[in-house]
C-alpha cells in the first residue's frame, strides 16, 4: 500500500540537541527544525548557542537556547525541567556534546582523561537520565547518541576518546534494552572524520598544518572525502523520524566507508 504520510515529518515534536552551537550539533539542530521540530539548543557556549537559535528562527524554524554543562547533574536536571516547562514534552534527544585530547595513555594527564570521559560519556548518561522520564510521560521518543568510527575500532593518539566513544556505543545498546518497554528507541551514529571545529582542533593538537591534516584525514575512504556536518545530520534525522520506527540499539557508521 502506498502511504502519502511524510514519515520524516517532525511536526509537533520537541528535540533536544547538545553541543548544538557548532559543527554536527548545529547542522542537526537546523535539520530537525527544518523538518518541523521545536529545537532546544544546548551548549556551554552561550554566545554561539544564542546565535544558533537566532539563525534557526530567522530561517522560519522554532528554537530556544539553554546553557547547559552536560557534566553537571544539577544543570542537566534543571535544563530538562525547564524544557518541559517551556514546551510541555520532549520527543527527541541528540546526545552530541563531545571533546577530544589526541594523546596516548602514557602522555595523557588524568585531567585530560577525566575531561574527555566526562563530556562525552558522563554527559550522555546525565542528560538521558533526566530526559527519559519526560519522554516516557508522552508515550516514548527517540534518543540518538554520537559515537565514532573510533568507538568501533581503535585509533592512534586518542586513547580517552576511543574509550569514551566505545562506551557510548555499548551504553546505547544497554539503554535500548532498558527503555524499549517505554517506547523509547536508542541508537548511535558513528561518524568518521567530519569537517568541524573539533576536527580542525585535533590537527592543532597534533601540531599539523590544517590543510594537510584535513587532506590526509580524507585519504583511504572509498568516497574519497571528509564528511560534512549535514552528512551526519541526515542520519540524525533518520533516527529521529518514524522512518526508523523499528530500529533500536543500532550503531550506524557514517564515514564514507572509512572502516569498511
pTM of the model as a whole: 0.95
* DSSP string computed for 183-194: TEEEEEEEE-SB
* DSSP string computed for 108-170: --HHHHHHHHIIIIIHHHHHHHHHHHHHHHTT-EEEEEE--GGGTS--TT-HHHHHHHHHHHH
| CATH number of the 14-194+229-253 domain | 3.40.50.720
**Active site members:** 161
pLDDT per residue rounded down to tens, the chain (260 residues)? 445 568 899 999 999 999 999 999 999 999 999 999 999 999 999 999 999 999 999 999 999 999 999 999 999 999 999 999 999 999 999 999 999 999 999 999 999 999 999 999 999 999 999 999 999 999 999 999 999 999 999 999 999 999 999 999 999 999 999 999 999 999 999 999 999 988 898 888 889 898 888 888 888 899 989 999 999 999 999 999 999 999 999 999 999 999 99
Cα 159 to chain centroid distance, Å, stands at 20
The number of beta carbons lying within 10 Å of the beta carbon of residue 35 is 17
Domain locations in the chain? 14-194+229-253
Q: At 83, list the grid cell.
A: 524544557
Amino acid at each position: 500500500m502506498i502511504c502519502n504520510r511524510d514519515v520524516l515529518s517532525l511536526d509537533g515534536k520537541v528535540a533536544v540537541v547538545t553541543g548544538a552551537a557548532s559543527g554536527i550539533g548545529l547542522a542537526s539542530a537546523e535539520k530537525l527544525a527544518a523538518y518541523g521540530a521545536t529545537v532546544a539548543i544546548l551548549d556551554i557556549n552561550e554566545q554561539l548557542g544564542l546565535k544558533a537559535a537566532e539563525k534557526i528562527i530567522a530561517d522560519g524554524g522554532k528554537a530556544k537556547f539553554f546553557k547547559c554543562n552536560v557534566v553537571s547533574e544539577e544543570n542537566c536536571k534543571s535544563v530538562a525541567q525547564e524544557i518541559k516547562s517551556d514546551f510541555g514534552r520532549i520527543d527527541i534527544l541528540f546526545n552530541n556534546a563531545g571533546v577530544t585530547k589526541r594523546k596516548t595513555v602514557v602522555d595523557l594527564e588524568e585531567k585530560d582523561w577525566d575531561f574527555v570521559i566526562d563530556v562525552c560519556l558522563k554527559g550522555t548518561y546525565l542528560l538521558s537520565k533526566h530526559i527519559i522520564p519526560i519522554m516516557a510521560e508522552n508515550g516514548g521518543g527517540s534518543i540518538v547518541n554520537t559515537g565514532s568510527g573510533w568507538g568501533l575500532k581503535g585509533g592512534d593518539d586518542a586513547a580517552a576518546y576511543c574509550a569514551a566513544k566505545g562506551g557510548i556505543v555499548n551504553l546505547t545498546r544497554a539503554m535500548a534494552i532498558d527503555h524499549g518497554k517505554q517506547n523509547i528507541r536508542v541508537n548511535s551514529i558513528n561518524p568518521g572524520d567530519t569537517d568541524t571545529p573539533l576536527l580542525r582542533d585535533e590537527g592543532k593538537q597534533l601540531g599539523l598544518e590544517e590543510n594537510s591534516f584535513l587532506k590526509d584525514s580524507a585519504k583511504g575512504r572509498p568516497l574519497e572525502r571528509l564528511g560534512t556536518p549535514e552528512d551526519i545530520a541526515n542520519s540524525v534525522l533518520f533516527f529521529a523520524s518514524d522512518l526508523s520506527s523499528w530500529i533500536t540499539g543500532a550503531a550506524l557508521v557514517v564515514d564514507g566507508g572509512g572502516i569498511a
